[in-house]
Every structure is written in structure tokens, then in C-alpha cells.
Amino acid sequence: MSLPVRVLDTVVMIVWVAWAGSAAGYALLVLGALSLDQRIHTRAVAEALARHRVGRPEPADAVPDEDLRLGVAAVAVLAQGDGSIHRAFFTVITDMVARGVLKPDTEYDGTPTLALANSDPCRPGASEAEARLWSSAFHQNPASEDPHSLMHPTADHLMNEGYLRGRGVYIDFERPCLFWSRTVAALTLPLAALETYAFLDWRYALVAGWTSMAMIVVAWGLALPGRERPQALRLPVLTERGEQVVRQARARHAHLDPAKRPASQAYAPDEAAAACAVFGRAAYSRFAAHTPGFADAFTAGVERRLASRAAEHRMRHRNDFIG
């Protein structure tokens, strides 16, 4: 009686080993196909980059003092490097505070705010952003203005002039055919049928069925066309001309680097905006540390803008719900 039991146990063990081997073999087949296709894809990306470098025109010589011609707001957009305008926004406000156009103040309820320092008209030749902030200061904290609507003309001008190329611009690339993955996907159906037939016994039918379904799902994933663009082919937001302007500004204002200045040394009125434009938050923090009330007033304006935007969002959803 013991011999048939031992034989049966041996057969069961052989069946499970065979099932595990078939599953592992299919997994290795899939991984091998993905690895081969990845090598083909990597080679195609490298060739696309090489073609782009060969076909790229030689960069033009930098125009002297181009950073001065563009102004601190434009330099701030370029120096941020990703096409965002937030640095330009607080650069313009910092410039107005440093020059005495705006001053930290408090509202009637004690809320910190920025107000006009005097009743002088807006200076001649002021940028559109500065003029809007000056006008806004009559009735609200100018830091609560929307940075995107305020600084969009500056970013749009930089793009039209060839300093920015925008986000999501890629090198032309023809994705190679995923030959090995598609081949494995095509072979999966007969392999799944063979898996089901080999383990047709009722004791293994459930495992064989789930294994075959998993193989079919993997094959479906392998057969899907790849739509994601390689990040290696994504062009930087700044063009060569924009990078030249940033290099000019950094060289011109290297002495304003907060990392190279004593913490006790404040920025002069004509230095604060350039420092914020080139060195960002570090320079802003240095200026705010030497300007009592400025950081609180600026933060209060930003919080008011965010609260107003959230309230508008809730009201819009409420109106959509009511119909």
C-alpha cells in the first residue's frame, strides 16, 4: 500500500516542479525580450541625439549686455531654468520694495501688507508688471496678484525672441519596433494553451488556469504600443541664447551671491532685484532678513491669493453641482 502512495507523491512533486519550471521559463523569456528591446531602444535614442547634435547650428556669439537689455524680470525667468515665473514675480516686488515704491505696512485689522510708500506716480518706463503692481497697491496687497497673469507677457516675449523653447519639446524620434516583445506576445497564446493542456488534471486545473490567464495579461502588456517619450530626448527649456543670458547675468552679479557675502551685509537698493533674479530664494531670504515686515507682508499676500483661488474653486464646483 505504501508504494502507490510514494509513487503518487513523486508524481505530484514532478508536476509541481514542471509547473514552476514552465512559469519561470516564461518569465525569463519575457525578461529577455524586454532586455533586448531596451537595448534596441537605447541605441535608437543615442542615434537620435547624435543626429540632433550634428544638425544643430553653431550657437551665435553672445550679445554684450543682453541681460541688462532684457531686465531683471526676464533674467529671473531664464535663471529659474524651467520656464516658471514665480522667481520673476517676487523679483519685481523685491525691486519695488528696495527702491522705496512699496513698503511693509499693516491693514486695519493688523494683517501685514505691502502698501505704496508715497503718492508719487508710477515711474516712466516701468514695466507692465510693475505698473500693474503699483496700481494694485491702492486697494490690496500687491503680493496677492496672480503671478501667471502678471508675468506671462514676459515669458511669452522670451519665447518669441528665442530665449525659451517651452516645456515638453522633444527631439524628433522614430520609436523602433518592439520586435522581441511582440514575438513573445504572439507566442504566448499557444504557450498558454499548452500550459492548460499539460496540467489538465482537475487537481491542477485551477493553478493552470490562473497561470494561463497571467500569461495572457503579460502578453497584452507586451503588445501595447509604447507612447511615452524618452526623457533623454527632451530639450531643455532654455535655448542656447537664453543660457548665454544667464551666464552673462551670473558673471555680472557674482558679487551678489549670498553664499559669498557676510550675513550682516544687506543689499543696496539697486542690487536686490538682480540678486533675487540670479540667485533666487537665497537672495530673497537675505533681503527679507534686512527688511523688517517684508517677508510677513509678502507671505500674507500669497496666502490671500491661494485662499481666494480655493474659494473660487469651491464656488465653481457648487455651481456645477446645482446646475
* 103-116 pLDDT tens trace: 999 988 889 999 99
Q: What is the pLDDT of residue 312?
A: 64
Question: With b meaning 16 or more CB within 10 Å and e meaning fewer, what string describes 89-111?
Answer: bbbbbbbbbbeebbbbbeeeeee
Q: CA 3, CA 121: separation in Å to the nearest integer?
A: 107
Question: With b meaning 16 or more CB within 10 Å and e meaning fewer, what string describes 252-290?
Answer: ebeebebeeeeeeebbeeebbbbbbbbbbeebbebbbee
pLDDT band at 124 (very low <50, low <70, confident <90, very high): confident
Between 52 and 318, name the one with better pLDDT: 52
All three cell numbers of 258: 549670498
Q: CA 284, CA 271: separation in Å to the nearest integer?
A: 11
Q: What is the pLDDT of residue 17?
A: 74
Inform me whether the pLDDT recorded for 200 exceeds 70.
no
Inform me whether the pLDDT recorded for 2 exceeds 60.
no
All three cell numbers of 184: 513573445
The 8-class DSSP code of residue 234 comes to B
274-302 per-position pLDDT tens digit: 999 999 999 999 999 999 999 999 999 99
In whole numbers, what is the pLDDT of the chain averaged over residues?
83
Contact indicator for 280, 258 with CB cutoff of 8 Å:
no
Inform me whether the pLDDT recorded for 73 exceeds 80.
yes
List the end-to-end C-alpha distance of the chain, in Å, as a whole number: 79
All three cell numbers of 279: 540667485
Inform me whether the pLDDT recorded for 48 exceeds 50.
yes
Q: CA 134, CA 118: separation in Å to the nearest integer?
A: 11
Question: What is the rounded average pLDDT of the residues 37-47?
Answer: 86
Between 55 and 145, name the one with better pLDDT: 145
* Nearest residue to 97 (alpha-carbon basis) of 146, 133, 132: 133
pLDDT band at 3 (very low <50, low <70, confident <90, very high): very low
pLDDT band at 1 (very low <50, low <70, confident <90, very high): very low
Q: What is the pLDDT of residue 59?
A: 59
Contact indicator for 215, 22 with CB cutoff of 8 Å:
no
Q: CA 9, CA 187: separation in Å to the nearest integer?
A: 33
Q: CA 75, CA 89: separation in Å to the nearest integer?
A: 12
Question: What is the rounded average pLDDT of the residues 37-55?
Answer: 82
Backbone φ and ψ of 83, nearest 5°: 80, 0
Give the CA distances from residue 268 to residues 115, 187, 271, 288, in Å, rounded to whole numbers and listed in that order: 21, 73, 5, 13
Please give the angle made by the CA atoms of 156, 166 and 246, to the nearest 5 degrees. Answer: 80
214-239 per-position pLDDT tens digit: 888 888 888 877 666 666 777 788 88
Contact indicator for 222, 178 with CB cutoff of 8 Å:
yes
pLDDT band at 188 (very low <50, low <70, confident <90, very high): confident
Indicate the range of 115-124, 143-152, 203-212 predicted with least confidence.
203-212
All three cell numbers of 284: 530673497
Q: What is the pLDDT of residue 95?
A: 93
Contact indicator for 257, 276 with CB cutoff of 8 Å:
no
Backbone φ and ψ of 37, nearest 5°: -65, -35
Long-range contacts of 184-192 (CB under 8 A, 24+ apart): 184/29, 184/30, 184/33, 184/219, 184/222, 185/219, 185/220, 185/222, 185/223, 188/26, 188/215, 188/216, 188/218, 188/219, 188/222, 189/216, 189/219, 191/26, 191/215, 192/216
Angle between helix 294-322 and helix 86-98 axes, rounded to 10 deg: 140
pLDDT band at 11 (very low <50, low <70, confident <90, very high): low
